[in-house]
Structure 1
């Protein structure tokens, strides 16, 4: 796609410009000290609590749900639950209800980047396509590779889409990549391969993977503009709402919710569920992010859905896991340290390279989102400055390739 748009000459000119820009970006000794000091403050140095290692040696499955915002969880419309299966899960597992989108210059691929590296992405360009050659020594797949996990990234898309294959294989160190070529493209719902088909085929592939394994995958059916076909609509919404972006959004997530339940049933059928941790989260906001002006004109069900709070759901399920609402304010950069902690990894493996916090063991209740907008409650001016510097520190880390396997020794 990058070659076709400008033509071969234009493409090589653009690549030359990008290479020159990187060559002229020289980090200073002061930049390196700023990064080191930022990580030092970020480490809360807390003693382990009851959550440490509770999922040790279990398979880990990341379900990245397209455009899923938290406001749909535990809500009904027209007398029906929007996400009945996820609602049930929130009462059986760890549910993080103050979890925020932190995407910056991109959307879904920024989420891929943050959950795997725990680094804030760039705002002036797309990190994955402009700095896809960077290598992150303490990415989540590499941490798990080092303790014997099989690590897999899969997208129901072509290899070149937003450079996801280079990012996951080279940048994060995932051992195996499964693209759309590894699936039968037999049903389309919404934006691409239906969630039903994707989850069904994926579960069948996982039963042949040597445990323990780590798998991450994004869904597609709830992608905007949420024009899900009538035969998949189950909520019987009023005509005006059904024909709006809001109605399509509700119906799309209702459909995806039922396919997540199907996936759980498949994992149980293949004896995978009891020994797995299922991590379910939104990649970025959806109907509020892209169609807010349109939906604000609607008047429906006392308008409880109108606020754009930037919250995404984060649900971590495992058999016999504690049922707990985690209220600490956090975001996508916190997933790597939080999952690592729950799996029992020593924090020395990631504390000096992770910009996130362990959300099940933290004394802080604030995070930062795009636009340097602080969410939660800060304790003092020092914590405020720490948060306000986060995206600029992330930029320095990325543009200097600070966390590279090759360059880390120099720092």
Structure 2
């Protein structure tokens, strides 16, 4: 602790642009980078995401997944708290009662009237989301239980219904808000497609890879409808929209071959950034870098900025010896914070 505590906090630098009113963080299940810009005989797998990038959204195709045994909960944990999950056990179960300096808590300090909510496709008990909602500082949780559709029998909401559900909540809510949306239709196993599409996949593709890409295409379709809803209801341009993957997946699920050119890096899309992000699309980042990036884009000043580096942090700071050492030690820093419940009773200054 004595050796590493000086590295707990990232170097300060000025933030001088006004943030968007709302933040919408969409965490897409098992989304890999390679479907973006992928065309099969002229058919785009992700036309919505492609159009966002074409129109100026920041896109990074080179984000490394940091998940451990907690899988989806680990991605959510890292994005919201800026910490790296433990290599043993399931972090959200083993450290459930810890105090976290999370994005919703920091947002509510900055904007006391903001509503923070989660919209999930599963029951409130999955990954202990009901308790996580409280631990991370969310005000409301909308789960499969709260969704009412008499003829829908599935245990999880598909992405069509999920985005429609999120839209209905957005339409009736006050601003400003922070909305976290978790999707599910690209979840393994890839034994079938949610909807059938006439995509002429190469013969070399396994059935699993075909189904995966069909389900990514399906997610992209209803993501597009959700974004259109935001535009029609005057919520799009005053919202910072982030689309990220919860984690990578093993090729055991896809059964792809070398000639299929499948990459297992995960993507990040930032729509309506109030500040131009100069980093290239292949700039190497990890999931831990999203938390401090969101702090910058949200105009949030906080002593705690996570163990990653913001995409808006100047190279002049990133290249200092202190910052290089902080990245080397980031896993140990996360371990100390979790094992000691470091933030319990500690006041984090703005």
Q: TM-score, normalised by structure 1?
A: 0.75
The one of 293, 297, 307 equivalent to 1:355 is 307
C-alpha distance in 1, partners of 2:183/2:317?
30
Aligned to 1:312: 266
C-alpha distance in 2, partners of 1:407/1:323?
33
Say whether the 8 Å CA contact 1:157–1:179 is kept in structure 2: yes
C-alpha distance in 2, partners of 1:392/1:319?
32
C-alpha distance in 2, partners of 1:173/1:249?
34
Say whether 1:37 aligns with 2:2: no
CA shift at 1:165, angstroms?
1.9
- Change over 3 Å in CA distance of 1:384–1:183 after alignment to 2: same
CA shift at 1:230, angstroms?
7.0
CA shift at 1:388, angstroms?
3.7
- Change over 3 Å in CA distance of 1:231–1:67 after alignment to 2: closer
Deviations 1:335-372 (A, max 9, x none): 221112112222xx1x4352122112232899xxxxxx
SS in 2 for 1:216: strand
- Change over 3 Å in CA distance of 1:316–1:178 after alignment to 2: same
C-alpha distance in 2, partners of 1:407/1:338?
23
Q: TM-score, normalised by structure 2?
A: 0.88
- Change over 3 Å in CA distance of 1:83–1:151 after alignment to 2: same
CA shift at 1:381, angstroms?
8.1
Deviations 1:283-313 (A, max 9, x none): 111353x436x323xx7xx4322x44xx211
Alignment of 1:19-38 (within 5 A): 31=1, 33-38=2-7
Say whether 1:285 aligns with 2:248: yes
Structure with bigger helix share is 1
Aligned to 1:22: none
Aligned to 1:26: none
Question: What 5-or-longer segments of structure 2 have no aligned partner?
Answer: none
CA shift at 1:123, angstroms?
1.0
Alignment of 1:75-94 (within 5 A): 75-91=38-54, 92-94=56-58
CA shift at 1:267, angstroms?
1.4
SS in 2 for 1:181: coil
Say whether the 8 Å CA contact 2:277–2:311 is kept in structure 1: no
- Change over 3 Å in CA distance of 1:364–1:64 after alignment to 2: farther
CA shift at 1:239, angstroms?
5.7
Deviations 1:120-158 (A, max 9, x none): 11110111111111121x310011112131100121211
Deviations 1:93-137 (A, max 9, x none): 12223322111232110011011100111110111111111121x
Aligned to 1:393: 333
Aligned to 1:161: 126
CA shift at 1:168, angstroms?
2.3
Aligned to 2:291: 336
C-alpha distance in 2, partners of 1:238/1:267?
36
The one of 242, 260, 273 equivalent to 1:303 is 260
Deviations 1:9-37 (A, max 9, x none): xxxxxxxxxxxxxxxxxxxxxx2x23412
SS in 2 for 1:232: coil
Say whether the 8 Å CA contact 1:158–1:179 is kept in structure 2: yes
Larger Rg: 1
- Change over 3 Å in CA distance of 1:126–1:270 after alignment to 2: same
RMSD, matched Cα: 2.8
Alignment of 1:12-411 (within 5 A): 31=1, 33-40=2-9, 43-48=10-15, 52-54=16-18, 56-91=19-54, 92-136=56-100, 138-146=101-109, 147=111, 148-170=113-135, 172-184=136-148, 192-229=156-193, 231-238=195-202, 241=205, 244-286=207-249, 288=251, 290-291=252-253, 294-296=255-257, 302-305=259-262, 307-308=263-264, 311-318=265-272, 322=276, 326-327=280-281, 328-346=283-301, 349=302, 351-363=303-315, 386-404=326-344, 406-407=345-346
Say whether the 8 Å CA contact 1:103–1:284 is kept in structure 2: yes
Say whether the 8 Å CA contact 1:89–1:317 is kept in structure 2: yes
